[in-house]
């Protein structure tokens, strides 16, 4: 494998699978899941800035920024009851870590958009996931507890996260990155926490509330607003092709 592709794989392993997972998983030992969802939600904002700097076809517009900020505000509405803050040094570090994590993810995704086609997606993800997993395992063994129980529930959870959360999820993500803009892809992260709550209602019978409904509407409107410019440019490009033809 050429040196440039090895570097691409290494950056993907660290930025997409290594650092964000470590920061979020460790951070959620100190902050609530709702607060973690809100702190991670600036991912599209980081993507917008990085794409503006690294990609020629993704300008940074006020409409895009406004839509992203509105989407983040929608998540605040959804999770406002679980945004408990703690003033301890450990909790503050955890919050900073969860807030920094999406910056790494955004860089990895924007880089994948820029380097798309230089390496088959299956090969990239296989190597990057393996390397990122090895790094996390090494850190976990070094600093984590040595005792754990490999029962059916634990193994089932690991299998679900590996197959549904990683293999299927990131295969879809990179498939989208090859077809739509990096910012449009990152906007899906605003909807994922809401889908998780709906899944909890459907599978575990958890309660839904008015905040979820109102916040979901705000998030949907924000995503639409942030995507409007990309949709308009795509229509113009399509119209230009039709005219030329």
190 with 44: CB under 8 angstroms? yes
Question: What pTM did the predictor assign?
Answer: 0.89
Handedness of CA 144, 146, 149, 155 (dihedral sign): positive
Q: For the chain, what is the total number of helices (H) and then of strands (E)?
A: 12, 0
Find the length of the chain.
245
From first to last of its 245 residues, the chain has per-residue pLDDT tens of 677 889 999 999 999 999 999 999 999 989 988 999 999 999 999 999 999 999 988 999 999 999 999 999 999 999 988 887 777 899 999 999 999 999 999 999 999 999 877 789 999 999 999 999 999 988 888 877 767 777 888 888 889 888 888 889 999 999 999 888 999 999 999 999 999 899 888 888 888 899 999 999 999 999 999 988 776 665 665 555 455 55
End-to-end CA distance of the chain: 40
**Measured between alpha carbons, how far is 96 from 93 in angstroms, rounded to an integer?**
5
78 with 212: CB under 8 angstroms? yes
Q: How many CA atoms lie within 13 A of 77 on its CB side?
A: 19
Q: What is the CB neighbour count within 10 angstroms for residue 68?
A: 26
């Amino acid at each position: 494998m050429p040196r440039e592709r090895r570097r691409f794989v290494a950056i993907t392993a660290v930025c997409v699978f290594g650092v964000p997972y470590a920061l979020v998983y460790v951070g959620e030992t100190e902050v609530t899941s709702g607060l973690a969802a809100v702190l991670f939600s600036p991912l599209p904002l980081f993507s917008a800035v990085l794409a503006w700097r690294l990609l020629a076809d993704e300008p940074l517009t006020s409409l895009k920024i406004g839509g992203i900020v509105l989407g983040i505000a929608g998540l605040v509405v959804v999770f406002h009851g679980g945004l408990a803050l703690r003033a301890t040094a450990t909790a503050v570090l955890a919050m900073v870590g969860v807030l920094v994590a999406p910056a790494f993810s955004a860089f990895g995704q924007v880089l994948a958009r820029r380097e798309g086609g230089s390496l088959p997606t299956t090969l990239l993800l296989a190597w990057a996931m393996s390397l990122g997993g090895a790094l996390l395992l090494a850190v976990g063994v070094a600093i984590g507890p040595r005792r754990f129980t490999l029962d059916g529930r634990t193994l089932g959870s690991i299998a679900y996260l590996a197959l549904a959360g990683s293999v299927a999820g990131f295969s879809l993500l990179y498939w989208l990155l090859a077809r739509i803009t990096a910012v449009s892809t990152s906007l899906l992260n605003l909807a994922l926490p809401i889908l998780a709550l709906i899944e909890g209602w459907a599978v575990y019978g958890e309660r839904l509330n008015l905040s979820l409904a109102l916040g979901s509407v705000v998030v949907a409107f924000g995503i639409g607003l942030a995507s409007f410019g990309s949709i308009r440019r795509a229509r113009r490009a399509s119209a230009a092709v039709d005219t030329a033809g």
